[in-house]
Chains A and B, each alone.
Chain A
Amino acid sequence: MKTITCLLALLATAIAAAPVGTPKEDCCKEAPPPAGPISARSIYQLDAKFCADTGQCLPLATLRGRPVVLAMFFASCGYACPRLVTDMQAIRGRLPAELRDKAAFVLVSFDVERDTPGALADYRRQRALDGAWTLLHGDQDAVSELAALLGVKFRREPSGNFAHSNLIAILNAEGEVVHRREGLSGGLDEATQAVMAAATRK
């Protein structure tokens, strides 16, 4: 019963999109670590490996247990991608303080050739992205499969740039896509609420 009350309180908080959490939230903060088989709708079923800008190579399932805000991008992109990153920062800024570091902010590059882990590390410095951010490089297979799972279309242009759909996906702790923010305008409140809802569900 206490859990239900707490969930309701959190839900109310989520709907109001209040930036400051209520004390009651403490009861739900310590979710048990996820265990058992990966859910049938989880993108963590993808067994492809990605390498972070820190040099660590890991399956996506490493992100399991946290809400995730994920976008595909490429570092040399001059138009849409900087806006995607800015929007993800805005989502983070709207989250209650205790969620800002609990949620993972993940960027996966389309540009398998140029966006090496080293190039991504440069990008992290340029954009001053802190430890909540994970910047991932994958091989062509891994990137194609992830894009297909998310419904992101992309294509390399002769210039070396990529035409791509603009998507910010919100994943719950199991890696299930619970919200999609498509395009480049609006939808930040809804995306923020989706992260908060994903964080409160067990």
Chain B
Amino acid sequence: MNRRGLFALLLAVPVGLVGEEAARVVKMLPIPAGDYAPPLRAAGEPERVAVAAFLLDERPVTNAEFLAFVTTQPRWRRSQISPLFAEEAYLHHWAGDLELGPLAPGAAPVVRVSWFAARAYARWAGKRLPTTAEWELAAAAGFTRADGKNDPELARAAQVWLARPVPSILPEAASARPDFNGVRGLHGLVWEWVEDFSTAMVTGESRADSGLNRDLFCGAGAVSARDPGDYAAFMRLALRSSLTARYTTTALGFRCARDLPAHTSP
């Protein structure tokens, strides 16, 4: 479906959309099995982690989709959400509880959502959040080749985005350039929640505390990375490690994942 067609569909079914229907609107694309090399590892942890093939949303969840969610799930509305599940800035840029307004175009990625809210949406849609390993595996694809490591365009896209302030009105989620797998916006649109974000800083050495030495996470940490292209991965690691589950920030959204049918438990 082209961009216009997708947008038209979103406009056509804005409210009263139930989870399964919403899940059908976004195309889910298969991400082939592969492995993920965490930028930092606990002692004894293997250098690469195998990741099974899975399905990933073609693009991040949009404002219009999230509006459909809060419309049917009142406890996740801005005025009703528990302070335990999201900080005050939750959906702050929306015009109202059930009104997007000029700062939140329907087709733009939803941001200012907490991990709890992102998870609740995913469950409502019959999906789940991707794990860090899954997300990073998908993000390792280049624009024109399966392995983005040697794709200079990809590294450039990621770094240009990191250097730029986040616009106050985000572009359409479906407008981002598709990568080799057809997935859009993994680089250069918004940061995205992952299921296990909170494990980013926990290592065997931090048993008595909840955080690793912060010194390791200054940008200079990337200097010793195997590959300068890892810079964006370090930035994502640093971001994840700084989050708590109720945070909502202006450039943090999410997309959903699902097991491949063969792996779905009955």
A34 to chain B, nearest CB (A): 17
Q: Which residues of chain B are near A155, meaning CB under 8 Å?
A: 42, 196, 199, 202-203
Given contacts A80-B207, A80-B208, A184-B208, contact A157 B84 (CB under 8 A): no
Stretch of A24-32, A89-97, A121-129, A140-148 contacting B (4+ beta carbons < 8 Å): A140-148
The contact of B206 among A45, A148, A149, A163, by CB within 8 Å, is A163
Additional pairs, 11, CB under 8 Å, beyond known A45-B85, A153-B198, A154-B199: A41-B82, A148-B116, A148-B198, A158-B46, A163-B202, A163-B204, A165-B206, A166-B207, A166-B208, A183-B209, A184-B208
A-B pairs, 5 with minimum CB distance:
A148-B245, A165-B210, A155-B199, A155-B202, A153-B202
Give per-residue flags for B39-60: 1 if the beta carbon is below 8 A from chain A beta carbons, else 0. Answer: 0001011100000000000000
> A102–B244 Cα gap in the complex (Å)?
33
Q: Which residues of chain A are near B209, meaning CB under 8 Å?
A: 165, 183
* Chain A interfacial positions (CB closer than 8 Å to B): 40-43, 45, 79-80, 144-145, 147-149, 151-155, 157-159, 163-166, 182-184
Q: Identify 23 residue pairs between A and B in the complex whose beta-carbon atoms are under 8 Å apart, listed by A's number.
A: A41-B82, A41-B83, A45-B82, A145-B119, A148-B115, A148-B198, A149-B84, A152-B210, A153-B201, A153-B210, A155-B42, A155-B202, A155-B203, A157-B45, A158-B44, A158-B46, A163-B206, A163-B207, A165-B206, A165-B209, A166-B208, A183-B208, A183-B209
Q: Let me know if B195 is at the binding interface, CB within 8 A.
A: yes
A144 to chain B, nearest CB (A): 7
> A163–B206 Cα gap in the complex (Å)?
7
From residue 185 to 222 of chain B, which have CB atoms closer than 8 A to chain A? 195-196, 198-199, 201-204, 206-211
> A182–B45 Cα gap in the complex (Å)?
27
Cβ-closest chain B residue relative to A149 = B84
B41 to chain A, nearest CB (A): 9
The contact of A164 among B42, B45, B207, by CB within 8 Å, is B207
Cβ-closest chain B residue relative to A161 = B204
Interface of B is mostly: loop
B198, A163: Cβ atoms closer than 8 Å: no
> A144–B198 Cα gap in the complex (Å)?
9
B208, A163: Cβ atoms closer than 8 Å: no
Q: Which residues of chain B are near A164, meaning CB under 8 Å?
A: 202, 207
> A157–B41 Cα gap in the complex (Å)?
10
* Chain B interfacial positions (CB closer than 8 Å to A): 42, 44-46, 82-85, 115-116, 119, 195-196, 198-199, 201-204, 206-211, 244-245
Cβ-closest chain A residue relative to B46 = A158
Q: Which residues of chain B are near A145, meaning CB under 8 Å?
A: 116, 119
B202, A158: Cβ atoms closer than 8 Å: no
Q: Which residues of chain B are near A144, meaning CB under 8 Å?
A: 195-196
Q: Which residues of chain A are near B119, meaning CB under 8 Å?
A: 145
B202, A149: Cβ atoms closer than 8 Å: no
B84, A79: Cβ atoms closer than 8 Å: no
> A79–B208 Cα gap in the complex (Å)?
10
Q: Which residues of chain A are near B244, meaning CB under 8 Å?
A: 148, 151
Q: Which residues of chain B are near A165, meaning CB under 8 Å?
A: 202, 206, 209-210
Q: Which residues of chain B are near A147, meaning CB under 8 Å?
A: 198
Q: Which residues of chain B are near A79, meaning CB under 8 Å?
A: 207
Q: Which residues of chain A are near B201, meaning CB under 8 Å?
A: 153
> A43–B201 Cα gap in the complex (Å)?
24
> A182–B209 Cα gap in the complex (Å)?
8
Q: Which residues of chain A are near B84, meaning CB under 8 Å?
A: 40-43, 45, 149
> A182–B119 Cα gap in the complex (Å)?
27
B83, A40: Cβ atoms closer than 8 Å: yes
Q: Which residues of chain A are near B42, meaning CB under 8 Å?
A: 155, 157-158, 163
> A187–B202 Cα gap in the complex (Å)?
23
Q: Among B46, B195, B210, which residue has the most Cβ atoms of chain A within 10 A?
A: B210
A78 to chain B, nearest CB (A): 11
Cβ-closest chain B residue relative to A79 = B207
B83, A154: Cβ atoms closer than 8 Å: no
Q: Which residues of chain B are near A182, meaning CB under 8 Å?
A: 210
Q: Which residues of chain B are near A40, meaning CB under 8 Å?
A: 82-84
B45, A158: Cβ atoms closer than 8 Å: yes
